[in-house]
């Protein structure tokens, strides 16, 4: 996803003195960026607290954050909830691999 598309209009020597105009972000791109910021904020806060937590607890926190966030921004909340579900699925794969099962 290219979020820094520039205006390609050429103006001869004047373009040297004209600042480059960047394209605006779409609502999807903005939702992804905001969701990543919330994800990092939760991760840093959890790590800084010093309280040990496992991946299942982190996945639950992401899903809960997605639920709360979806009240203000549905798309952003869905992104966070999907990331939480992805962490849960990876834990299931790890548990299945430890038991020697084929998880395909």
Average pLDDT estimate for 3-16: 55
Vertex 83 angle, CA 104 and 45, to 5°: 135
pLDDT of 10: 52
66 alpha-carbon distance from chain centroid: 11
Report whether pLDDT(5) > 50. Answer: no
**In this predicted model, what pLDDT tens digit does every residue of 67-102 receive, in sequence order?**
999 999 999 999 999 999 999 999 998 888 888 766
Backbone angles phi and psi of 8, in degrees to 5:
-90, 10
Report whether pLDDT(43) > 80. Answer: yes
Neighbouring-strand partners of residue 6: 22
């Amino acid at each position: 996803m290219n979020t820094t598309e520039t205006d390609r209009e050429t103006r001869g020597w004047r373009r040297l003195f004209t600042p480059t105009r960047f394209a605006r972000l779409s609502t999807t791109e903005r939702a992804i960026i905001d969701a990543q910021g919330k994800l990092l904020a939760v991760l840093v806060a959890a790590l800084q607290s010093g309280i040990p937590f496992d991946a299942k607890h982190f996945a639950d926190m992401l899903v809960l954050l997605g639920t709360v966030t979806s009240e203000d921004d549905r798309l952003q909340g869905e992104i966070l909830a999907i990331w939480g579900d992805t962490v849960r699925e990876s834990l299931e794969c790890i548990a299945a691999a430890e038991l020697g099962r084929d998880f395909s």
